[in-house]
Structure 1
Amino acid sequence: MTNNVQNNILNEYDNSLIILDKLEIKIKELLKDFLEPNKANIHTISSRIKSKDSLSKKIERKNKYSYLRDITDIVGFRVITLYYDTVDEVAKIIESEFKIDEQNSNDKRKALEPNRFGYLSLHYVASLSEIRGQLPENTLVSDFRFEIQIRSILQHTWAEIEHDLGYKSKNSPPQPIQRRFSRLAALLEVADEEFKHLRNAIEEYKIQVEDSMNQNNLNNVIIDIESIKEFIQREPLVKQISQAISNKIKLPLLENQKVESDTIEYLLYSGYSTIGEIKRDLEQYRDQIIKFTVLWINESGRNNFGFITCEVALIRLSYIKLALIGNAPDIIERLRLKLFPINIGTEEQFKQLAARILKTYKEINP
């Protein structure tokens, strides 16, 4: 390649930066719109315009370009998914929404030899579809191709570390290092698959919990973060108690908040094991929960967050359950064994909490 050709491409690059910037913004917006239904499984969508220095080195190294539009990755996008099977879901969307340059696209997952482990990623070279390319606002960018890389977050981790170590070719590391590379890559592949299975197992468990609750078999539903989340969403009594507390202390009740793991600990250390037991006591101690919580918060003189959630009904139920033990030493023993299993609390903190629980309960039940 002559210096004139290289200089012409670099000059074209300088003159096209505004167009390339528009292309980057446009495609990134489209990717976000297209992948919205998969938002929960998408980690990040990133983009970049190739730097002039990087472009110059590529032109010199490849020695095959005549025009800027010949370079397929002048603008690049990367979609990182949480799970490896989402890569194929994203790929189908990309294929349906963009015009794919099959000749220059590359599925590196298939290119990897069966007896090797390593970099796995799906690379598309694409351009705007004909319909979108004809829109007036896209006229300037319709002729440019761009690259879209799709990979899972663990595949991305491997690629980034491999790049940082400087070994992009499978044959470039010394032989003992190649062996370590393969072992690590294999571990990441296994982890990628196991995270997918874990996600599926959680989804299956959620369905089982929903089925048990639909059949009103609450005594068979053990307490965990999924069962409590489902219980809060579907049990009217939880919201009724929480709303009554909200009205009395004049703090807004926020719904659809995620369930904190602390709530599960509160329920377990106070002696509950199934959702059925919680519902039974919510019904029995409804008025006491409201009075106890209002008094507890008012005596604190503040609420750190300026709002409450439906979890407040369950947390204060656990306090009432402790209060029913009836004496401070046994409450302290329960707290010591369950609430602080790694010795976070001091003996004085245990005593103060137990004393306050008993005092508050006696005030609402003189």
Structure 2
Amino acid sequence: MYNASENRIASQLQRDIESELDRIGVLSRVFSRAKSIASLDAKINRSPKKYSSGGKKIQDLFGIRVAVYFPDDSHIAQKAIRNMFQCDEGSSTIDTPKNDMFSATRCNLVFRLPQEISDQSAVISSNELVDSTFEVQFRTVLSEGWHEVEHDLRYKHKEDWGPHDDLSRALNGIYASLETADWSMMKLFEELAYRHYKAAEWSQMIRAKFRLRIRDELSDTVKTILDTENNIGKKLYRVDRGKFIVRLLEDRIRLPITLDNILYLCNHYYIKSSLISDITPDLLKQICSELE
């Protein structure tokens, strides 16, 4: 009974978060889980004085992991979920990297469950040590596997690593290489976007620059304008990707993430070309006018 109701809630949270990230096109994978009764009991028994009905409660009955393809999308995903749910800032953890020491950094945010979802939980209604919250962990797809290995084989078995600091440091070093790979991947696509821009390969440039979930090509009409009016392509290339995605998020725009729509929206926000405005679909014009 417990597992059925809790698993439904975890799946619902996952679907809601996936839907919002898909709306703005962020490349990511979202995972969910609900703690079993056995897992909850084990957590309570490990530290019997840690949790109380009037004090600290277990806040990760439901867990969500968001693995973004690129590290610069982590803050966008965090912002998206903060807009959806109330964040418990005091219980959340965002590590600040240190220049003189390397270790994995955590980005774990705790959110309050909406009342209508909390009411569905058999565990929350019957266990006073469990809070009406869920935890979201943010990672990159490259670091996801490392975190799983570290959690299951080091974090849960610290006694196995006690006298082996050199190997523990080596494990952290593997994470360091993955962080470097994350950065390199991002820079690689920036270079790819630049090369496509210089070659006037507009569809390819937009895909590489914006790194969103896009599946189509530019229309012939748009291509013709970009080929004849290079200044528009130049302004499009110079659009700040992060700020553009945040605008999509904050303005609650619900449109298919297509290459044409990206150009139309960038034109509305930044480029201001009458040539592009003239070919912008009426529905999109109406949406944009409502934002002003």
Q: Same fold (TM over 0.5)?
A: yes
Query: Are 2:7 and 2:33, in contact at CA under 8 Å, matched by a contact in 1?
Result: no
Q: Against the structure 1 CA distance between its residues 19 and 153, is the aligned structure 2 distance closer, same or farther, given a 3 Å change threshold?
A: same
Query: Are 2:104 and 2:172, in contact at CA under 8 Å, matched by a contact in 1?
Result: no
Q: How does 1:116-131 map to 2 (within 5 A)?
A: 116-128=101-113
Q: Against the structure 1 CA distance between its residues 139 and 182, is the aligned structure 2 distance closer, same or farther, given a 3 Å change threshold?
A: closer
Deviations 1:106-125 (A, max 9, x none): 113x1x54322232331111
Residue of structure 2 aligned with 1:174, choices 152, 164, 171: 164
* Aligned equivalents of 1:91, 1:174: Cα separation in 2: 35
Query: Are 1:117 and 1:185, in contact at CA under 8 Å, matched by a contact in 2?
Result: no
Q: Against the structure 1 CA distance between its residues 173 and 180, is the aligned structure 2 distance closer, same or farther, given a 3 Å change threshold?
A: farther
Name the residue aligned to 1:102.
89
Q: Does 1:144 align with 2:132?
A: yes
Q: Does 1:206 align with 2:196?
A: yes
Name the residue aligned to 2:67.
80
Name the residue aligned to 2:47.
62
Query: Are 2:102 and 2:172, in contact at CA under 8 Å, matched by a contact in 1?
Result: yes
What SS does structure 1 have at the residue aligned with 2:199?
A: helix
What SS does structure 1 have at the residue aligned with 2:65?
A: strand
Deviations 1:8-59 (A, max 9, x none): xxxxxx6x545423421321121012111344521x2111111222111100
* Aligned equivalents of 1:98, 1:213: Cα separation in 2: 37
Deviations 1:89-148 (A, max 9, x none): 10111112111111111113x1x54322232331111024xxx64xxx546149721111
Q: Does 1:197 align with 2:197?
A: no
Q: Against the structure 1 CA distance between its residues 24 and 178, is the aligned structure 2 distance closer, same or farther, given a 3 Å change threshold?
A: closer
Name the residue aligned to 1:187.
177
Query: Are 1:119 and 1:158, in contact at CA under 8 Å, matched by a contact in 2?
Result: no
Q: Does 1:90 align with 2:69?
A: no
Name the residue aligned to 1:3.
none
Residue of structure 1 aligned with 2:150, choices 159, 162, 181: 162
Residue of structure 1 aligned with 2:32, choices 47, 63, 82: 47
What's the CA shift for 1:172? Answer: 3.7
Higher RCO structure, 1 or 2 (CA under 8 Å, sep 6+): 2
Query: Are 2:21 and 2:77, in contact at CA under 8 Å, matched by a contact in 1?
Result: yes
Q: Against the structure 1 CA distance between its residues 83 and 207, is the aligned structure 2 distance closer, same or farther, given a 3 Å change threshold?
A: same
Q: Against the structure 1 CA distance between its residues 57 and 34, is the aligned structure 2 distance closer, same or farther, given a 3 Å change threshold?
A: same
* Aligned equivalents of 2:60, 2:47: Cα separation in 1: 13
Query: Are 2:71 and 2:140, in contact at CA under 8 Å, matched by a contact in 1?
Result: yes
Q: Against the structure 1 CA distance between its residues 114 and 53, is the aligned structure 2 distance closer, same or farther, given a 3 Å change threshold?
A: farther
Query: Are 2:85 and 2:112, in contact at CA under 8 Å, matched by a contact in 1?
Result: yes
What SS does structure 2 have at the residue aligned with 1:99?
A: coil
What's the CA shift for 1:83? Answer: 1.0
What SS does structure 2 have at the residue aligned with 1:34?
A: helix
* Aligned equivalents of 1:145, 1:196: Cα separation in 2: 33
TM-score (norm 2): 0.57
Q: Against the structure 1 CA distance between its residues 56 and 167, is the aligned structure 2 distance closer, same or farther, given a 3 Å change threshold?
A: closer
* Aligned equivalents of 2:202, 2:20: Cα separation in 1: 35
Q: Does 1:36 align with 2:16?
A: no
Amino acid paired to 2:20? F
What SS does structure 2 have at the residue aligned with 1:198?
A: helix
* Aligned equivalents of 1:104, 1:198: Cα separation in 2: 36
TM-score (norm 1): 0.47
**Whose Rg is larger?**
1
What SS does structure 1 have at the residue aligned with 2:89?
A: coil
Deviations 1:205-228 (A, max 9, x none): 333333x779xxxxxxxxxxx9xx
Gaps of 5+ in 1: 1-13, 215-225, 227-231, 237-255, 257-366
* Aligned equivalents of 2:189, 2:81: Cα separation in 1: 24
- Count the aligned residue pairs: 198
Amino acid paired to 2:119? L
Query: Are 2:69 and 2:141, in contact at CA under 8 Å, matched by a contact in 1?
Result: yes
Q: Against the structure 1 CA distance between its residues 145 and 213, is the aligned structure 2 distance closer, same or farther, given a 3 Å change threshold?
A: closer
